[in-house]
Amino acid sequence: MSARLTELLGIDVPIIQGPFGGGLSSVALVAAVSGAGGLGSFGAHHLDPDAITALVADLKSAVPRDRPFNVNLWVPHPYEAGLRPAPADFERLRPLYERLGVSAPTSYTTPPVFDDQMDALLAAQPPVISFVMGVPSADVVTEARRRGIVTIGTATTVDEAVAVEAAGLDVVVASGSDAGGHRGAFLRPVAESLVGTFSLVPQVVDAVRIPVVAAGGIADRRGVTAALALGAAGVQIGTGFLATTQSGASPIHKAALTGPDARITVLTRLFSGRHARAIINPLIRELAAEEANVPEYPVHNALMQPLRRAAAAHNDSRYVNLWAGQSASLSRSVTAQEYLATLVADDSNRFESI
């Protein structure tokens, strides 16, 4: 199965670097992972079409010519286009705006239109495109295949994996509830889609014929070995690569990933309006009572952006989103190339000596 995945993607080792949105991805990280034989990924859901065109051009320049890379987009939920903030949504956050010395937003700017993003991405022709939060239309999948682009879908349940295969995508990532960052559930509510990685993977392997990539809570060679033993063709690792020197994560985020607080993470809607796994910090505790009241993504995400930017500018970890998976405490501050090498190293001698 691993050989099937590596041949399809054109990679040497069955390791995919998880895509990070919101500025956490970097061209340098993608180039490092792809150059070392894995699949580097860049999260582009926050970029407008022109920025996506420029991004793919930058990646094609930075990544060795014979190596693939992946660009990721979020498939929007149908109801999101009509969402707008209410006055109470602004008022709820006003004390935090004042505390951090930033101006409260006076208007709401809608995010980039997915169809426009998709047109730009297909035209730019990255080697691989991946999707979370849903499945793209049949027209998108057909056009990607016509252009020779490999497509990857993401599933948090067996039913979602079946939907990914039925949509015609080439690979499915089985993303367990252990994973850091945003949950991509799209057929059922997140609360009904929290399946752990090592429960999810073998069920998905039995349910679909396309290659299955395990994601969530995998941070070292032991996790890779376990995922492959369960039938996965490869693994996708986010948090471990987020801690490496080339990622776009801030110094305070990287420090949190390699510190003792990383042992405890929680699913929260407080940063974006969508459930995402993060290291607990004072903002999560302070606003815990509002968890069910914050507006849906993308409205709450837009309202929180001034706060997150101000906190990051002041290296204040109390108010930023410290995305992390449940194996974050295994993260190390090393280069992406060094980290990738540990994931594929032969540990047989070490285990024999125990």
C-alpha to C-alpha distance for 116 and 135, rounded to whole angstroms:
16
Q: What is the pLDDT of residues 267-298, one digit of tens each?
A: 999 999 999 999 999 999 999 999 999 999 99
Identify the burial level of 318 via C-beta atoms within 10 angstroms of its C-beta, where 0-12 means exposed, 13-18 middle and 19 or more buried. Answer: middle
Name the pTM for this structure.
Answer: 0.95
Exposure class string for 191-213: b at 16+ Cβ within 10 A, else e: eebbbebbebbbbbbebbebbbb
Q: What is the pLDDT of residues 71-89, one digit of tens each?
A: 999 999 989 988 999 999 9
Secondary structure class of 118 (helix, strand, coil): helix
Instruction: Looking at the structure, give the CATH architecture of the domain made up of residues 2-330.
Output: Alpha-Beta Barrel (3.20)
- Residues sharing a CB contact under 8 Å with residue 256, sequence separation 6 or more, in sequence order: 262, 279, 317, 322, 324
Is the predicted pLDDT of residue 164 greater than 70, yes or no?
yes
Q: What is the pLDDT of residues 168-183, one digit of tens each?
A: 999 999 999 999 999 9
C-alpha to C-alpha distance for 301 and 22, rounded to whole angstroms:
10
Cβ pair 183, 156 in contact under 8 A = yes
C-alpha to C-alpha distance for 154 and 156, rounded to whole angstroms:
7
Identify the burial level of 267 via C-beta atoms within 10 angstroms of its C-beta, where 0-12 means exposed, 13-18 middle and 19 or more buried. Answer: middle
Instruction: Choose among 129, 93, 136, 100: nearest CA to 9.
Output: 129
Going from N- to C-terminal start, the domains of the chain cover: 2-330
What average pLDDT does this structure show over 304-317? 90
- Name the residue with higher pLDDT: 314 or 267: 267
Is the predicted pLDDT of residue 130 greater than 80, yes or no?
yes
